[in-house]
Structure 1
């Protein structure tokens, strides 16, 4: 016998009003309930919906197989260990997000956990995109030497695209450090904020349906949005130079795929969530409006991530026989070589 749906507390609807709507207006209890359990989800599926769930699960499995094959190719065909590590983790992003969406498809109450895992992984992709461009040049030292005389335009999106009067900058070690910190801060702060959100959610103080000024979800969402914009700005600045010099490494389509992931992960779920909060997504038992919006997002995300995974395979699956750069002790260098006055005997350098 199916259990009665567990009603959810709403900040903007008192319990008396909810009971009135259920008893006097024949509104299903599921419209005010928590997301269904896995058993309730499976039990509510008809033939059409079950076929959709199975098809989406098969697509996720196919994405996983393609990802594994691509990883095996990169491990064999990319000689530089640092570049190989970055490419492997970057190319796996669509598959990881698809797997999280598939888990959320079958286990609706895991939405908070699956969203957290996919969001943290994509936050790391910001740092990976930065390292892809740096490693594409051949390392920090090679990048500094190649860009030292190139004026870098900083009046670019998403922060300063409307400020063309900003003067260009020169690439120095200090400016590269600032650009790196501007991007990596997002990879560090987003997991921390999401962990805080998870703790507040378990304590009942984090509700995505609460859009009041005192809502923790609203403030955390605004802070994450600001950090996202600040993290994209340094990437755009460096990409303006990388797209010309690293065209043979497919940096343009790789960056376009990264931006596509950013739009799909952040904007798509946010738009569906706002529509659900505004009552534009009707409840369909056993799903309430918000849970149904999450279901729709999972459906779309699995299909979109499969397309992104197939396209990324075309551009990431590239042979790279350069030995890359590794740490070399100066004690192994010929003693007759002039290595400069500012380098000690026990220091190390990187070579490409």
Structure 2
């Protein structure tokens, strides 16, 4: 009887060891599927797909930079200095995002840092765009003089549904100051969060996975407040400068968040439903990131062309010269 019990215990122990071994193999397979290879391993095992992707990414980046240089050349000819610098800064967002996407393909391990650069472009673009809006009317004080207390609606995207009950507001210096703070909080608030997330990601990946979801509500709230303030400001300035394509310029800025943040997060999860690539080092994650960043590069070329069209107005220098004549 004792020998039979010993045999059962031994058989049970072997089953447990086999289950543990299978779990360990599955865990290692999952790690190899989603981990980033070293740079030497990445280029040693380079495939035809990745070589073609790098070639296409480089061409798209050069095309985006060419569009940018053409746009900057035109802005330098047609705008005076107060509008020239913020306008050039706004159209500079898209080639920087393209370079970040290209670096992600060339150095896959840097994807989170490059994704942060894409995110930072909206944080910087928001305050710069607000500054540009009020320079179209010279200043905030001049806007208050020109409008003479005309009320402004607060029911604008992305808070148009929840703000229907709010009354129209007459702009004052204090309310414009609140609007300014709503936009300027983005680089400080989100910049601090993204810095912490980068440190956690590259120092302690397990801790990053545990706390990342706690940061997401704060990032979303910050983006919503900043975008809401910018939309209100665009409506205010459009009443005075309706021929400056301000909504089109705002849409170009919003595409940074929609394509580089929202689309990135959605595709990053959706592509996990498909088996891409093979085993480590050219695994599923490498193919997934490459596909997403190639898509972003194509979209940034289109957005750069849209921004080039949006910033055709105003043609300030020619107007000033004709007025002098």
Q: TM-score scaled by structure 2?
A: 0.83
CA contact 1:206–1:216 (8 Å) conserved in 2: no
Q: Give, in whole Å, the separation in 1 of the partners of 2:262 and 2:140.
A: 33
In the alignment, structure 2 segments of 5+ residues that lack a partner are 1-19, 321-325
Cα offsets for 1:152-199 (capped at 9, x unmatched): 101222234233221110011111101111111012211111111122
Q: 2:221 aligns with which of 220, 226, 245?
A: 226
- Listed as ranges, the matches of 1:260-271 within 5 Å are 260-271=255-266
Offset at 1:130?
Answer: 1.1
Structure with the higher fraction of residues in helix conformation? 2
- Listed as ranges, the matches of 1:180-259 within 5 Å are 180-205=180-205, 210=209, 215-259=210-254
Q: Give, in whole Å, the separation in 2 of the partners of 1:152 and 1:206.
A: 48
CA contact 1:148–1:172 (8 Å) conserved in 2: no
Partner of 2:42: 41
Partner of 2:14: none
Q: Give, in whole Å, the separation in 2 of the partners of 1:162 and 1:99.
A: 38
Q: Give, in whole Å, the separation in 2 of the partners of 1:177 and 1:85.
A: 23
Cα RMSD for the two superposed structures: 2.5
Count of residue pairs brought into register by the alignment: 297
Partner of 2:316: 320
Offset at 1:57?
Answer: 0.8
Offset at 1:230?
Answer: 1.1
Structure having the higher Rg: 2
Q: Give, in whole Å, the separation in 2 of the partners of 1:288 and 1:314.
A: 40
In the alignment, structure 1 segments of 5+ residues that lack a partner are 1-14, 324-352
Q: TM-score scaled by structure 1?
A: 0.77
- Most deviating of 103-112 and 249-258: 249-258
Offset at 1:306?
Answer: 0.8
Greater relative contact order structure (CA < 8 Å, 6+ sep): 2
CA change 1:65–1:163 in 2 (3 A) is: closer
Cα offsets for 1:193-240 (capped at 9, x unmatched): 1111122223215677x3xxxx22111222111111111111111222
CA change 1:256–1:121 in 2 (3 A) is: closer
Partner of 2:142: 142
CA change 1:45–1:287 in 2 (3 A) is: closer
CA change 1:192–1:144 in 2 (3 A) is: same
Partner of 1:19: 24
